[in-house]
Amino acid sequence: MQLSLGFSPCPNDTFIFDALVNKKIDTSNFSFDTHLEDVETLNNWALQGKLDITKLSFAVYLKVKENYELLNSGSALGRGCGPLLIARKDIPLDEIANLTIAIPGENTTANLLFSIAFPDAKQKKIMLFSDIENAVLSGEVDAGVIIHENRFTYQLKGLVKLMDMGEYWEKTTGNPIPLGGIFIKKSVPAEIRKQLDELIHQSLQNSYTTYPNLSSYVTSHAQEMDESVMRQHIDLYVNKFSLDLGDEGKAAVTALMSAAEKLQ
């Protein structure tokens, strides 16, 4: 059975899916038509119902819940791993609502968390996540919300942190930060959905058996990143919640959905 599968080229996703897509584990009769794309592209594709299994920002969950179900394995959830609001220099937080802010996609969890912290900030410019640092440096925007590996590089470019959006979420809710999850079409039979969930779990376990060594699959897709940054990326975004959301993870997702509904 062939299924379409989408996830990002970031180290956390390629680390999770390496064994699955490269047949390092027994995938039974399943094969995958794999698409590696920026998460906002995947979010937009999910609105069209394009892929059978896909990584999505939790922020888009409400918009696709009629057609997609969240799996227990493969999620990016945790503490101290949220998006950051950065700028060229310190800016008082009460001025943020009047500034132009770069965001890595309308349907991203980064944008949702920013909106929770700054509900009056409406001057947003949607950009590819990897372009935001340079847009801030050039003055194209006043500040930007950064995600992924940019958490580890912004200071090297002389940028400063205005707020850690994940820290704000944790302090105000007590929950870990739900960033993204793996979703599967509800049209896929329930037993097959269960099998695929277990395969993703096994795929991640397989990658852990050789970690901190990184496979060529992980390194070849990482964007301009040395291996130490790749490991920082994996250590931050891949954890116990990636193996299984559990009750704590599910409660965090529910809390985020409730916050998103209040902003609508």
| CATH fold label, 2-77+178-263 | D-Maltodextrin-Binding Protein; domain 2 (3.40.190)
Rounded distance between C-alpha atoms, residue 246 and residue 257, angstroms: 17
Q: Is the pLDDT of residue 223 over 90?
A: no
How would you label 90-125 residue by residue, b for 16+ Cβ within 10 Å and e otherwise? ebeeeebeebebbbbbebbbbbbbbbbbbeebeebe
Report the 10 Å Cβ neighbour count for 187.
10
Q: At what angle do helices 11-21 and 190-208 cross, to 10 degrees?
A: 110
Chain Cα centroid distance, residue 113:
12
In the chain, where the domains are located:
2-77+178-263, 84-173
Which strands, in side-by-side order, build the sheet including 101-103?
Answer: 124-126, 101-103, 143-146, 84-87, 160-164
pTM of the model: 0.90
Going by the annotation, the residues of the binding site for substrate are 55-57, 109-110
Q: Can 2-77+178-263 and 84-173 be said to share one CATH topology?
A: yes
Please state the rounded mean pLDDT for residues 144-172.
92
pLDDT of 126: 96
Using pLDDT thresholds of 50, 70 and 90, give the confidence band for residue 124.
Answer: very high
Rounded distance between C-alpha atoms, residue 78 and residue 179, angstroms: 8
pLDDT of 224: 64
pLDDT of 264: 78
Going by the annotation, the residues of the binding site are 55-57, 109-110
Asked if 40 and 102 count as a contact pair (C-beta separation under 8 A), the reply is: no
Taking only the tens place, the pLDDT of each residue in 34-91 is: 999 999 899 999 999 999 999 999 999 999 999 999 999 999 999 988 999 999 999 9
Pick the CATH number of 84-173 from 3.40.50.1370, 3.40.30.10, 3.30.365.10, 3.40.190.10: 3.40.190.10
User: Exactly one of 35, 148, 201, 221 is catalytic; which is it?
Assistant: 148
Rounded distance between C-alpha atoms, residue 169 and residue 164, angstroms: 9
Q: Is 148 a catalytic residue?
A: yes
Please state the rounded mean pLDDT for residues 1-22.
97
208's CB contacts (< 8 A; 6+ apart) are none
